[in-house]
Structure 1
Amino acid sequence: MDPQEQDFTGLSIEERLGHKVWKARLSAYEELIKEFETSPSEDDEIFTRFDVNTVKSFTIDSNVVAQETGILCVSKYLEFGPTNNAVRLQKSGVVSSLCEKGLSSSRAGTKTKTNECLMLLIERVDGNQVVQDMMPFFKHRLPKLVSGVVNSIYQIIDNFGCKIINPNPIIEYLPGLFSHADRNVRNEATNLTLEIYKWLRDGLKTVLLDDLKPIQKKDLEKAFDKVADEIPKQKRLLKSQKEVEEEAPTEDVEMEDTEVKPDFDPYDLLQPTDVLNQIPGDFQQRISNPVWKERKEVLEEVHAILSKASKLNPQDDYLDIMRIFTKCMKDANMQVVQLASECTAFLAIGLRKGFKKYYSMILVPMLERNKEKKPSFTEAINKSLDTIFKATSLSDVLEGVLSTMTHKTPAIKIAAIDYLTRCLSDSDVAPNNNEIESIMGVSVKLLSESQEPIRQAASQLIGTLMKIVGERQLIRYLEKVDDNRRKKINKFFEEANVKASSKGSNPPPKSIKPIQSTKIAPPSTIPSKRLATSPAKRPEKPSLRGLTSRNLTTNESIPKFSQQPQLQPKPEVDNSLLKELEELESKNKQLQDSHKLQINEIEKLKNDNLSLSRKLQESQSNSNITINQKDAQISRLNNDKENLLLKIKDLEQTIEIMKLNNDGPKIKTERNSGDLSLRVNRLSIGKDNDFKENIEYKKEPSVDFDNDDNWKKAQEITNQLRARIEKMKARSRPNFT
C-alpha cells in the first residue's frame, strides 16, 4: 500500500507532526487549526500543549503544500492564543523562518499566509523587533527573497503606519535597495519609499535623496508629487488598541475625519540627529580666517551636515554656533552670508519651537543684509527669514522687525515691512491689541515717506492686518490718511490671503466703503463751518424751527447715517483702554530710551578702548625706537672706547721704544727723532672733537747727541711727550667709566 494513501487519523497529533509522510503532517496541521479556532479562550490547554520550537517547525515543512497549511496553523495559533506565546515564538526565531521559507516561496498562497502571520505577530509583540528580524534579508543573495521581504515590510507600513513601526532603521537600507541589480527589488523599494514618504513627507527627502543617483532622485520626486495629497492612516490595530476600542466604542473616531486631517506630525516620527559632534573641530578658527574662500569652505562643510538633519535634539546647546552665524551676517562676502543664513534655517527646521532661544540674536542682522541688490541673494535671505518665523511666532519677531522698519536705508526698511506682511499672512494667531497698536504706530508714519515703494509696502502691510482684525479695529489710526492712500489700502485688504482671522474681518457690504465710514458729511441744514463764524452771522435758536414748529436740531431731523460714530465702543471703555495704552507706550518709550543710552554708552566705551589701545601701541612703538637708539649709541661708544684703548697701547709701545733708543750707544738722533715725530703726528684719539688732539713735534734740522745741550733737549722733548700722553689719558677716562 502506498504510504501516501494510508489513513493517519488513528495516530495522535504529536505522532503525525513528526511523521515522515507529508500528508500525515498536513492532517495534523488541519486538525490543529480546527482546535485553535474552536478553543473557548486563549487559556485553553491546546495552546500549551506544544512548545514554541515545535510550532516554529510548522513554517519550514519540507513539503510546499504542508508548509502552506503549517504557516496558516501558526497564524491561528497567534490569533486565538495568548500574547505570551507570541512573545516566546518571536524570540525563538520564527520571523527568520517565515522570511526565508515563506516569503521566498513561489506559491502566492504561501506568501499571503506568511504576511498574515507576520501581521498577527506584530499585533501581539513589539512590531519594531519583528521588522528588525526581517531587515537582514535586505542583503540576501537571492533576489526573490529580497523582493519578498521588502514587499512584506511595505505591507506592514501600509497597515500599521510609521507611528507603530519606526521607519528610520528601514531608511538606512533604501539606498542599497535602489542600487540592487534586480528590477523587482528596485520596484518594491520604490513602493516602500512612497509609503514611508506619506508619513514623513520632506523629512524623508532630507535623509534619503542625497544618497541616490540623479536619475533615481528625479524619478522619486515625480512619484512623491503623485502621492503628496494622500493622508496616511493606520488601517490595522494592535491587540492592545482593539481591547481599548472594545471597552470604549463611543470614542471611536470616524474614518472620514481621519482622512481629512492627519492625526500625526511627521516631525515626531523622526529620530534626533546629533550634529554638534560632527561640526569640524577647527570651525571657530577657520571661520575667522581673513581669506574668504577658507570661511566659505568651512561653512559648506557645516551646511552639508545641518542639511541632512531633519530633527535636532532641543536639549543640546547651539549658542556658540549661532553666535558664529550671527557674526557671519556682517561678512563682506555674500556667499559666506548666504551659507550662514541657510545654516540658520536648517537649525530652525531641526529645532522648531526649540529655536526660540536663538532667533533674537540673528533676526535683525539678517534683515539688514537685504540692502544687497543681487536678487538671488536677497531671495535666499528672505527664505531663511520665513523659516525662522515658522519656528517662532508673530509675538517673538515683532519687536525686532518693527525696529528694522525704521532703518535709515530704504531697501532694509522695505524688506522689513514685506517680512512683517508675510508673517501676518502666515500667522495662525491674530495679533493682540498691543501688537496692533505697535504695528500701526510705525506703519502709519511710513505712509508719509518720501519714496513710493516704502509707502506701497506700508499700505500692503496695513491692508493685510486689516484682513485679520477687521477694518473697524483700524479706523482710528487712519483718520488723517488721504483718500488715495486709503484706496490702495482697501485694494490690498481685498487681495490679502491670511490664515488667522478675528471677528469683524469679513469684507464690508458693497454699498459701504471700508475705512471711509468715519468721514460723514454734515447735513446741509446744519453747516458746521457757519456755526463757527461770528455771532452776527450765527442763526438764533428760534430760527432753527421749521413750518411745523419741530426743532431741526433734534435726532428726528438728522439722517440715520449721522449716527454711525455711535457704533464705536463706549467712551469709558475707550478711555480706560487708551489710558492703558498710553501708559504702556510711555513705558515702552522709556525702555527704548534706556536701551539707546546703553547702546551709546557701549559705543563710547568701545571708542575709548580703541583710542587707548592705539595710544598704548604708539607709546610702545616710541619706547622701542628710543631703546634701539640708546642701544646703538652705547654700541658706538663702546667701539670708540676700544679704538681709543688700542691707540693708547700703541702710544705706550712707542714710548718704550723711544726709551730703549735713548739708552742705546750712539743712536742716530736724526732718524729716531724723525721716526718719533712721524708716529706722534699720526696719533688721533677718538672721533669726537672733545677727544681729538694732534701731537706735533718740531724736528730739529740736525741734532748732535755728542753735545750735552742737544741731549738735554731730546730729554726735554720726551718728558713733554709723556706729559701730553698722561693728559690725554686723564681727559678720555671719565667718558667710559
Structure 2
Amino acid sequence: MADQEEDYSALPLSDRLTHKVWKVRSGAYDEAAKQFAASGAETDPCFRPFVADPGLFKKIVTDSNVVAQEAGIAALGAFLQYGGGRACTAIRATVVTPLAEKGLASARAGTKAKTVDALLAFVEMDVADPVVDDLLPVLGAKLPKLVAGTAMALREIVHAYGARTVNPKPVIKALPKLFTHSDKNVRAEAAALTVELYRWMGDPLRDVLAPDLKPVQLKELEEQFAAAKGDAPQPTRVLQSQRAAADAPDDAPADDVDEIDPLDLVDAVDVAAAVPPDFHERMGSAKWKDRKDALDELAKVVAVPKIADSDLSDVVRVLAKAVQKDANVMVVTVAANCTESLAKGLRAAFARYVPTVLTPLLERLKEKKQSVSDALAAALDAVFQTTAFADVLGDVVEFTKHKTPQVKQETTMFLVRCLRTVKVIPKKDEIKQVADACVVLLADTAKPVRAAAAEALGTLMKMIGERAMNPVIDGLDDIRKGMIREYYETAEVKAKPERAPAPRPAPAPAAARPRPAAPGLKRPAPRSGLVRPAAPAAAPAAAPAAAPAPAPARAAPARSPPSKLRPSLSALRPGSVGSSLGLRKKADDEPAKPTSPRASMMAAPPRRGGLTGMSLPTAAAPKAESGLSSAERAELQELRKARLDWAKTEDELRAQLEDLAAEKAALSQEVVELGRNNAQLIGDHTRDVLSLKAKDTQLARVHGDAETARAQVAALQRELDAARADAARLQTTLASRPPSARSDGRADLDGELSPVPRRPSSGYGSSRRRESYADLEEKENGYRPGASRSSSRDRYAAEPKRDDDAAPP
C-alpha cells in the first residue's frame, strides 16, 4: 500500500487531478492550491494548464466525492485569488454554472461557504453582471435547497459589493417567482434578499414589488423594511479595478460623492400608452363625478416609481385646467395628486411642463381646506424637484403680491421649502428678489403672512450667512429682527456655493477605463479561505523581462468595422475572454512547437500582461452545459462589455446634458436681464423724446415772441423817423425866413407852425418838442445860448395859453 502511495506522488500533477482515486485527486487539489499561493506572478506556469483547459476546473468543482469537491473548490478560490482577472475571465463561462449547481446544493457547510467565496472572487476579479446572469437561471431549478442556496449567494454578492456594482434589475424581476415557491426556506431567502436590496434602493423597491406580492407577504416585508430602514449600506468588498482608486488619496470632500439614485435601478413605464382612451372626453363632462373617476383611473396609471419620457403635454394641460378652474375640490385634489406622480416619475423630463402647471397650482392655493392645500403643496414640491430655482422664482415672487392672504402665505411657505431643498446657493440677483419680496411681506396685515416671510428670511440667512443679510435687515425694527433670528437658528438648508466645473479628462479606451470606486470604501481584509500573503519585495525583480517573440501573422477574415462605442476583440483588455479564445483558436490551427520549460518561462509575458505572447497547448474549447459553445460565450462576453461601454457613454452624455441645461439656465437669466435693460432703455428713450418735444414747443414760443418784438421795434423806428423828418422840416422853415420876420414875435411863429399837425401834449416827446420851440423863440429874439432865460420864460409862461395848444380830447 505504501508503494502504491509513493507511485501516486510520483505521478504528474495533471494526471493526479483526474485520477480515479478520490484521495489522490484531493491531494492534487491541495498541491495546486499551494502552488497558486507560492506563485510569483499571475503569468506563472502553474496557472497555464487551467487557463488553457477551462473544463479542468469544471471537473474539479463537480467532483463526485464531497471531501475532494470541497478541496477542489478551495483550490478554485486560490486560483482566482492569485491568477487575477486573466484567470477569472478564462474559466468563468465554463465554471460558474456547475459550481453553483453542485456547490450551493451541497450538504456540507464548508463546501457551501467556499462556493460563495469563489463566486465573490469571480465578481471581484472582473465585474458582477456575468456571474449574476449565470446564477439567475439556477433559481428555476427543481431542487429547493439549490434555489435557496442560489438566493443566498445573490444576497451575499449584493451585500458585499452593493447596488453600485451589482445591477439589481435582473434580480428584482426574479423575486416574485421566489415568493410563490412552495418551499418555506426559498421564501425566507427571497425575503432576506429583498431586504438586502431595500437597504440599497429604499421605497421604490416596495412600489415595484407590491403588485406581485400577497398582502401577508407585503406586511411581513414592511416590518422587515422598518427594521432595516436606519441602516446605512456600505460595501464590504471592492472590485479589482476599483481597488487602486480606493487606495489612492482622495482630496475631494465626502459630501461631493454622488449618492446612488434608487430610481436609476427601476425600469421606466410608458404611461402615455396606458392613459384611458376616453380620458379627455370624460374630463369634459359636466358631472364632477365623471371627472373624478377619470382622474382616479389616471392616478392608478401614473402611480409608478419611474415614467418613460414620452409626450404627455395633453394630459398635463388637462390636469392644469382641472387644478385652476374646476369648482369641485375633490377633482382639484386628485388632479394635484396626478401632477405630483408625473413630476416624481418623469423627474428632469417634467421640466418642460413646469410653465404649464406652476401658475395654476399657485393660483389654486386660495383654497382653505387643509386636504386641498396639502395636495397642492405636495405637487408644488414635486414640480420644484424637476427644475431649477431660477425657473420658478419669477412666478413665486409675483404671487407673493397676490391680493388673497391665503395665496401669499402658501406661496411664501413654498418659497421656504424651495430654499431648504435647493442644493446650490442662488445668485445675488435672485437672493435680492427673495429678500425684497419678503421684506415687503413683513409689513402685511395678516399675521400668518408675516410669520412666513420671517421664516423665509431666516432660511435665507442660514443659507448665505448673517453678514450678507445685514444690509437687508438693518432697516427693520427689533421685533421683526427677533422673528427672523428665531427662524435662522432652527433652519436647515442643503445649499452650497456653486463651484466652477473641473475640466473633463479625455475618455480612456474601453479596456483601460476602470469602474468607479464606491465612496468611502477602504480596502477590506481578504475573506477566510482566500487569504493571499504579501508578495516579497524581490518579486517584481523576478518577473521575466524578455518580451515574447511575435506570432506569425495570419490573414484575418473580412469583418465590418466596429462601432466607435462598441469595443472590438482587439480592444479588450489582456486576459479577457475574447483574447484568450482568439489565442486558443490560433493554437488549435497552428502545430504546437515543443519548447523547454526554461524557454517557456523566458517567453512568458510580464505580470498582468495577458495571453498575447503565450504559447498555449492545443485544446478544443469544450461545450458548456447551457448549450452555448465557447465562441458563443466569448461573443456574449463581448456584448456585455459593449453594454457596459454603452452605459458609460450614456453617463457621459447625461453629464453633458446637465451641463447644457445649466448653460441654458444661465442664458435664460441673461435674456431676462437683457429684457430688463431693454425696457429701461425704451423708457429712457421715451422720456428723452418727450423732453425734446417740450423744448421744441418752448423754442417755437420764443420765436413767436421775438417776431412780435421785431414788429414793435420796426413800428417805433418808423415813428422815430417821422419825428426826425418833422424836426428837420421845421428847422428848414425857420432857417428860410428873413430876419425881420423872425422878430415879429410869437404870432408869426404860430402862424408858420399852424400847418404842422399837433400831437398830444402828454408824454415824453411832446414836452421835449415844446422845449425846442421855446429855444427857437429865444434865438429869434436875440438871446444867446449862454444868457439867462428866466425873464423870457416867465413872460412866456405868463401869457394866456392859446386854444391850439390845448391837449386834444
Residue by residue over 1:201-256, the C-alpha shift from the partner in whole angstroms, topping out at 9 and shown as x without a partner, is: 233233223433334333333333333343323322223234x35xx9543689xx
Contact 1:158 1:195 in 2 (8 A): yes
Match 2:296 to one of 278, 286, 300: 300
Q: Which residue of 2 aligns with 1:187?
A: 188
Q: Residue 296 of structure 1: CA displacement? A: 3.2
Contact 2:74 2:114 in 1 (8 A): yes
- For residue 161 of structure 1, give the secondary structure of its aligned residue in structure 2: helix
Q: Which residue of 2 aligns with 1:329?
A: 323
Q: Number of residues paired by the alignment?
A: 505
Residue by residue over 1:30-78, the C-alpha shift from the partner in whole angstroms, topping out at 9 and shown as x without a partner, is: 2322333333433234333251112211111111111111212222332
Q: For structure 1, which segment, 154-163 or 476-485, has the greater mean C-alpha deviation from structure 2 after superposition?
A: 476-485
Residue by residue over 1:77-129, the C-alpha shift from the partner in whole angstroms, topping out at 9 and shown as x without a partner, is: 3233364443242222x222112110011101101111111112122344112
Q: Residue 152 of structure 1: CA displacement? A: 0.8
Aligned counterparts of 1:490 and 1:18: Cα–Cα separation in 2: 81
Q: Residue 589 of structure 1: CA displacement? A: 7.8
Contact 2:276 2:297 in 1 (8 A): no
Contact 1:348 1:388 in 2 (8 A): yes
Aligned counterparts of 2:251 and 2:475: Cα–Cα separation in 1: 54
Q: Which residue of 2 aligns with 1:552?
A: none
Q: Which residue of 1 aligns with 2:24?
A: 24
Contact 1:52 1:85 in 2 (8 A): no
Aligned counterparts of 1:287 and 1:123: Cα–Cα separation in 2: 56
- Aligned-residue sequence identity (percent) comes to 39
Deviating beyond 4 angstroms after TM superposition, the runs of 4 or more aligned structure 1 residues are: 1-7, 260-263, 470-487, 583-593
2:33 alignment partner AA: I
Q: Residue 6 of structure 1: CA displacement? A: 8.7
Aligned counterparts of 2:145 and 2:430: Cα–Cα separation in 1: 64
Matches within 5 A, 1:327-726: 327-330=321-324, 331-470=326-465, 473=468, 484-500=479-495
Aligned counterparts of 2:681 and 2:353: Cα–Cα separation in 1: 22
Distance 1:31 1:342, change over 3 A: same
Q: Does 1:37 align with 2:33?
A: no
Aligned counterparts of 2:467 and 2:239: Cα–Cα separation in 1: 54
Q: Residue 327 of structure 1: CA displacement? A: 2.3
Aligned counterparts of 1:44 and 1:456: Cα–Cα separation in 2: 75
Aligned counterparts of 1:66 and 1:592: Cα–Cα separation in 2: 92
Q: Does 1:89 align with 2:101?
A: no
Residue by residue over 1:276-322, the C-alpha shift from the partner in whole angstroms, topping out at 9 and shown as x without a partner, is: 45433614444444444444344334333332233x456x4443433
Q: Which residue of 1 aligns with 2:265?
A: 270
- For residue 416 of structure 2, give the secondary structure of its aligned residue in structure 1: helix
Aligned counterparts of 1:168 and 1:150: Cα–Cα separation in 2: 15
Residue by residue over 1:442-470, the C-alpha shift from the partner in whole angstroms, topping out at 9 and shown as x without a partner, is: 33333343333333333333343344345
Q: CA RMSD in A?
A: 3.6
Q: Which residue of 1 aligns with 2:149?
A: 148
Residue by residue over 1:382-417, the C-alpha shift from the partner in whole angstroms, topping out at 9 and shown as x without a partner, is: 122122223333322211111222222322222112
Match 2:57 to one of 55, 58, 61: 55
Aligned counterparts of 1:127 and 1:490: Cα–Cα separation in 2: 52
Contact 2:284 2:291 in 1 (8 A): yes
Aligned counterparts of 1:197 and 1:86: Cα–Cα separation in 2: 30
Aligned counterparts of 1:418 and 1:380: Cα–Cα separation in 2: 14
Q: Which residue of 2 aligns with 1:732?
A: none
- For residue 275 of structure 2, give the secondary structure of its aligned residue in structure 1: coil
1:17 alignment partner AA: L
Contact 2:36 2:78 in 1 (8 A): yes
- For residue 440 of structure 2, give the secondary structure of its aligned residue in structure 1: helix
Contact 1:348 1:355 in 2 (8 A): yes
Aligned counterparts of 2:251 and 2:469: Cα–Cα separation in 1: 42
Q: Which residue of 2 aligns with 1:135?
A: 136
Q: Does 1:79 align with 2:81?
A: yes
Q: For structure 1, which segment, 492-501 or 157-166, has the greater mean C-alpha deviation from structure 2 after superposition?
A: 492-501
Aligned counterparts of 2:290 and 2:349: Cα–Cα separation in 1: 31
Contact 1:232 1:262 in 2 (8 A): no
- For residue 62 of structure 1, give the secondary structure of its aligned residue in structure 2: coil
Distance 1:448 1:180, change over 3 A: same
Q: Does 1:309 align with 2:309?
A: no
Aligned counterparts of 2:188 and 2:681: Cα–Cα separation in 1: 64
Distance 1:48 1:498, change over 3 A: closer
Name the TM-score, length of structure 2 as normaliser. Answer: 0.56
Distance 1:182 1:2, change over 3 A: farther
1:350 alignment partner AA: G
Aligned counterparts of 1:147 and 1:378: Cα–Cα separation in 2: 49
Name the TM-score, length of structure 1 as normaliser. Answer: 0.61
Q: Which residue of 1 aligns with 2:176?
A: 175
Aligned counterparts of 1:478 and 1:235: Cα–Cα separation in 2: 51
Distance 1:486 1:122, change over 3 A: closer
Contact 1:4 1:23 in 2 (8 A): no
2:141 alignment partner AA: H
Residue by residue over 1:481-537, the C-alpha shift from the partner in whole angstroms, topping out at 9 and shown as x without a partner, is: 5555554444444444444489xxxxxxxxxxxxxxxxxxxxxxxxxxxxxxxxxxx
Contact 1:443 1:458 in 2 (8 A): yes
Contact 1:154 1:195 in 2 (8 A): yes
Determine which structure has greater relative contact order: mean sequence separation of CA pairs < 8 Å that are 6+ residues apart, divided by chain length. Answer: 2
Q: Which residue of 1 aligns with 2:669?
A: none
Contact 1:418 1:461 in 2 (8 A): yes
Aligned counterparts of 1:359 and 1:328: Cα–Cα separation in 2: 16
Q: Does 1:106 align with 2:107?
A: yes
- For residue 449 of structure 1, give the secondary structure of its aligned residue in structure 2: coil
Residue by residue over 1:666-725, the C-alpha shift from the partner in whole angstroms, topping out at 9 and shown as x without a partner, is: xxxxxxxxxxxxxxxxxxxxxxxxxxxxxxxxxxxxxxxxxxxxxxxxxxxxxxxxxxxx
Aligned counterparts of 1:112 and 1:261: Cα–Cα separation in 2: 37
Contact 2:271 2:308 in 1 (8 A): no
Q: Residue 11 of structure 1: CA displacement? A: 3.4
Q: Which residue of 2 aligns with 1:622?
A: none
- For residue 155 of structure 1, give the secondary structure of its aligned residue in structure 2: helix
Q: Residue 338 of structure 1: CA displacement? A: 2.5
Distance 1:588 1:7, change over 3 A: same
1:18 alignment partner AA: T
Distance 1:592 1:144, change over 3 A: farther
Distance 1:322 1:67, change over 3 A: same
Q: Which residue of 1 aligns with 2:8?
A: 8
Distance 1:228 1:3, change over 3 A: farther
Q: Residue 380 of structure 1: CA displacement? A: 1.9
Matches within 5 A, 1:723-734: none
Q: Residue 4 of structure 1: CA displacement? A: 10
Aligned counterparts of 1:122 and 1:223: Cα–Cα separation in 2: 28
1:303 alignment partner AA: A
Distance 1:223 1:3, change over 3 A: farther
2:143 alignment partner AA: L
Distance 1:249 1:148, change over 3 A: closer
Contact 1:203 1:266 in 2 (8 A): no
2:202 alignment partner AA: R
- For residue 385 of structure 2, give the secondary structure of its aligned residue in structure 1: helix
Aligned counterparts of 1:151 and 1:206: Cα–Cα separation in 2: 23
